[in-house]
A and B are shown apart, each in its own frame.
Chain A
Amino acid sequence: MRKVLVVLVLLILLVALWRLRAAIDSEYIYPFPPLATMHFVSDNPYLELGGLFLGLRSLAADVVWVKTLQYYGGPTEGEPEMPGAEYEHDSEQWAYQQLFPLCERAVWLDPYFTHVYNIGSASIGFVQERYDEAVILLKEGIVWNYNPKDIHYWRLNYALAALGYDKVKDYAHVINMLQNVVDYEESPMILLRVLANTYEKNNDYRKAYTLWEVIGRRFPSQAGQVRNKMAALAVKIGSK
């Protein structure tokens, strides 16, 4: 009798588990695309595999992104490369050729990492002028983060439009679009710098000067460069 009861309880629990699993599977949306539907964008996918096996994809994306920032914020032209630096900058024109693949690695791990699309596309497109790569990155971001109620989604769209105008040097429209992307108190520094430089290209020296003031206030570590920029702009404003 006891054995029958044990088997019965076990059976009831197993059926309950099976039904629950079916109910969850019918509605549950997995946060990330499955491995089988994607391709690895790295030759050394240790971080990717670690993220997948331990359920830490978001953290793995952060690590790749920090590596990207270290690469992009590495030594500038003329400075010696750090010994043992993982990525070598482009020897011909210092064009940070690895920037796009690194951004792709980060968003492969976490396609909802909107900072990568914003900062990555601004650096690749506006600064390095490799518009095709920047457009690919932004379009991926728009597809993955489709949500018309979310400001981040629209910012990606405006950034895409701004890139298009920048390519044909229509700076008035670039400014128009970028003003929708930039939130003066929140945006990453690169976006504020791109907007300030575009104001300058469009001969809006006063607006550029004001924006550099904001950059200097928000990012004290940039004080030296901000001072030089503001001094140069003050001369232009005075001679205008």
Chain B
Amino acid sequence: MILPIAEYTVKENIRGKIFYILLMFILVMVGAALVFSSLSPDTEARVITDIGLACIELFSFMAGIFAAVNLVLQEIENRTIYLLMTRPLHRWEYILGRYLGVLVILFINILLMLSVLVLLLKFASNWQWDAMLFWSVITIFFKLIIIVSVALTASLVFTSTVTAIAFSFMVWIIGHFSNELRILSDKVTAPVTKVFLSALYYLVPNFQYLNLKDKLYIPEVMPMHIIALVLLYSLVYTAIVLFIGNLLFSRKEF
């Protein structure tokens, strides 16, 4: 039953015109290419790549958390969930199907945006294919795998769209600040603050691990086994968050 739910979620998002993001992306990228080719011709490829990856990440992040937060809350509000729950469907199947549906739509979106970026780089500058660009986009998708699960679970905890979105945004920011948290917790001497910072460091996902787009221009190459560990870390973190989300959802009475 997971696949039909996922398919239904994909269709629902397509009907919700989620691919308009692609149009926005094309507009931003073409504009950026035109502006930066005249302002900074020597670093044009770098600037277009950075803007492209940032837009892929931020547009997908926004689309992802809005879609995830509304997945269940909207169905509860519209009371369509009551109809679904009368069917022979496990609640974890429903949650997983909805979650996978959002990921599929985000994945297609990211692929399309990456294609636009590569075409633009090819035509607008003397850019050559770099495998790190591919890995950067993969890690962006893994960031989304985590944050969508967080947004979905937050929507079940708070049962409020605004609070769940705000919470997800906060996790996103703190997750990018993870390394700073670790250093701060090492330096701080007050025991309560130290415990608080350490707890935050371990509880919030470390998005810096997945920030390969900031490693594009660094002389050292990132070892493959570290990338593998980081991707595995993302999957385990997501599994825990979804597990908790499912526990909360299974306690709800419809």
Contacts and interface: CB of A to CB of B under 8 A. Distances in A.
Interface string A71-92: 0000000000000000000000
B209 A58 contact: no
B51 interface: yes
Contact of A24 (B36, B43, B226): B226
A145 B236 CA distance: 35
B199 interface: no
Contact of B176 (A14, A16, A17, A53): A53
A35 B178 CA distance: 11
Given A14-B240, A17-B233, A112 B209 contact: no
A146 B177 CA distance: 26
Contacts of A219: 41
Interface string A1-42: 000001001100110111011011101111110111100000
B215 A31 contact: yes
B218 to A, nearest CB: 5
Interface stretch (B14-22, B104-112, B200-208): B200-208
A17 B201 CA distance: 13
Interface in B147-194: 172-173, 176-177, 179-180, 182-184, 187
Nearest to B126: A186
Given A13-B243, A21-B202, A21-B206, A27 B223 contact: yes
Given A30-B208, A31-B218, A53 B226 contact: no
Nearest to A188: B42
B214 A31 contact: yes
Interface residues of B, number: 51
Given A17-B240, A62-B46, A55 B233 contact: no
B230 A119 contact: no
A54 B174 CA distance: 9
B220 interface: yes
A210 interface: no
B39 A115 contact: no
A96 interface: no
Contacts of A25: 182
Select the residue from B43, B47, B173, B184 with max chain A CB neighbours within 10 A.
Answer: B43
A34 B180 contact: yes
A10 B246 CA distance: 12
Contact of A55 (B36, B47, B187, B208): B208
B212 to A, nearest CB: 8
Contacts of B98: none
Contacts of B57: 55
Interface in B6-55: 36, 39-43, 46-47, 50-51, 53-54
Nearest to B201: A21
Nearest to A55: B176
Interface of B: 36, 39-43, 46-47, 50-51, 53-54, 57-58, 172-173, 176-177, 179-180, 182-184, 187, 202, 206-209, 211, 213-220, 223, 226, 229-230, 232-233, 236-237, 239-240, 243-244, 247
25 contacts: A6-B247, A10-B243, A13-B239, A16-B236, A20-B229, A20-B233, A21-B202, A24-B206, A28-B226, A30-B179, A31-B215, A34-B179, A36-B180, A36-B187, A52-B176, A53-B173, A53-B176, A54-B172, A59-B50, A59-B53, A110-B214, A112-B218, A115-B42, A150-B219, A153-B219
Given A10-B244, A55-B57, 19 more contacts: A16-B236, A20-B233, A21-B233, A27-B226, A28-B209, A28-B230, A29-B220, A30-B179, A31-B215, A36-B187, A55-B214, A59-B50, A62-B50, A66-B47, A69-B39, A113-B217, A115-B46, A147-B219, A189-B42
